[in-house]
Amino acid sequence: MPKNDSFVGVQYQKVTISKKAIPLFSGYGIYTDLAGLAMANVAKWGQYEVGAHFGLKRKFYPAVEVGIGQSNYTSDRTNIHFKTHSPYFRVGMDYNLNKDRQSRNRYFLGVRYGFSTFTYDLEGPSVTDDYWGQTYPYEIDGAKGTAHWGELLFGIQSQLWKFIHLGWTVRYKARFHESMAEPGHVFYIPGYGKNGSSSSCFGGSFNVIFEL
């Protein structure tokens, strides 16, 4: 067979594909909680909330959330009416678990620190003095309280159309501190949720996000 120094056929060449670099500051988003908005209008408590986050390498997302929590509820058991309309604040960070940093969709773990200083009103059945036999109205206006809590959350965010995203979170909340007026534990803490005898509770959100 004659020698042929030339090779005819398919030639293979190693091609190195470089990923597009992701800048340190990789955009920001503004969002609002639709679930809290719906609850504020149809349930015993709810909130009007907006938040903002910005991306660091699309990996870390520092976040700030502010809102007004409200409740207007009368207990069927005690017939005591509780009312509040007060602000709350949260600050924290999310960590993107999606390894594809180019993707506009992400699922994440996050932490939050929450704080609220609030006022509330209580009104209930009249109280009768056993000794004098006199009846006094049970009414407390403008009682003050403060609360601090932490949150661990898991969430998903998906691109709906261009810069419009939808997402949801599930949150485990642990109350760190609560200052109470004379009546004791309040029914609801703005931003935290229903305030029972336990120092923890679960919550969630359904967000529409404008990602820029």
Residues contacting 59, CB < 8 A, separation 6+: 95, 96, 101
In a domain, 1, yes or no: no
In a domain, 18, yes or no: no
Region 92-114: mean pLDDT is 96
In a domain, 10, yes or no: no
- pLDDT score for 162: 92
Over residues 59-77, the pLDDT tens digits come to 999 999 999 999 998 988 8
> How confident is the prediction for the chain on average, in pLDDT?
87
Region 2-14: mean pLDDT is 49
Residue 18 has pLDDT above 70, yes or no: no
Task: Specify the pTM.
Answer: 0.83
Domain containing residue 107: CATH number: 2.40.160.20
**In whole angstroms, what is the distance from residue 72 CA to residue 35 CA?**
17
Number of domains in the chain: 1
180: containing domain: 25-211
Region 121-126: mean pLDDT is 83
pLDDT-derived band at 10, boundaries 50, 70, 90: very low
In a domain, 13, yes or no: no
In a domain, 126, yes or no: yes
